Structure 1
Amino acid sequence: MDLHWMELLLSHSGQTLRLGLEFLSLISVAIGLLAVLSGARKLRLREIPPHLIQRGPVTLARVTFGSWVALALEFQLGADVVLTTISREPNALIQLGAVALIRTFLNFFLALELRQEDRPSEHQRSMNDS
């Protein structure tokens, strides 16, 4: 049985999916940049807590853009998984695994920083309690 055509179909499908995920990653960063530059509420991924709005525009911009970058990293990680799946070379698999690991750590620390920004400061909590 000739499975060559199935292998080609899998390879082409994987490449198309990978390119689609990379495109979505690029679009996510562009939308994040537009959201920061325009300050448009509708372009934010999530509702911004009032304590962040009170901290100022820089914090608000960091959280808004950081959310979009985190989404872009997720798309890039998905693209890496697809590429790893369709790759046949051991060196390519090792390299892609290292890149995926780095992107996972970047996304983890970015999400951690965003969560820390989301928490109200001690000063804000004491003012809310009063």
Structure 2
Amino acid sequence: MTVSVELLPESGLREAIGVLVRIVETAGALIIFIGAVWAFARFAAALLRGRGQAGGFNRIRLTLGRFLALGLEFQLAGDVLRTAVAPSFTEIGQLAAIAAIRTALNFFLGREIAQERAEVAADQSEERKAGPRPAEGAR
């Protein structure tokens, strides 16, 4: 005769993980939202100041890309948590498809971030080589 003691029944574990999934996915959505609001505010400020320089926009895009990449990682973590308890083959297949899509998004986003970072660094290097600009009105 074997006695088995369940610390937490599967239904209770599923409920607990459901709460954790909602928390993690909410965190991911908030990160993306905050990044989008921040980027829009910086973009609007740059337009209002009349500094429509590519370098400024590249910095904004670079930071927004970082927010997006981090938010997508949280979303993927939520998907992994969702399938943590006795997943079916259908759930595993769905997780694989979601993970593949999000991984591809992160890959291309990471590549774009690297390109933007290189452009920003090149712009800063050119600005240093050019030296200080004369004040407007001074000739």
TM-score (structure 2 length as normaliser): 0.70
The residue that corresponds to 1:15 in the other structure is 18
Aligned to 1:28, which of 25, 31, 43?
31
| Aligned residues between the structures | 118
Given that 1:87 and 1:93 are in contact with CA atoms closer than 8 Å, whether structure 2 keeps it comes out as no
Instruction: Give me the identity figure in percent.
Output: 31
TM-score (structure 1 length as normaliser): 0.74
Cα RMSD between the aligned structures?
2.7
CA distance in 2, matches of 1:86, 1:26: 24
Structure 1 residue 27, shift from structure 2 partner = 0.4
Structure 1, unmatched stretches of 5+, are 41-53
Deviations 1:75-116 (A, max 9, x none): 011011111212532111111111112101211211111011
The residue that corresponds to 2:73 in the other structure is 74
Q: What letter is aligned with 1:29?
A: I
Higher helix share: 1
Report the structure number with the largest CA radius of gyration. Answer: 2
Is residue 2:14 matched to residue 1:3?
Answer: no
Given that 2:59 and 2:120 are in contact with CA atoms closer than 8 Å, whether structure 1 keeps it comes out as no
CA distance in 1, matches of 2:114, 2:14: 38
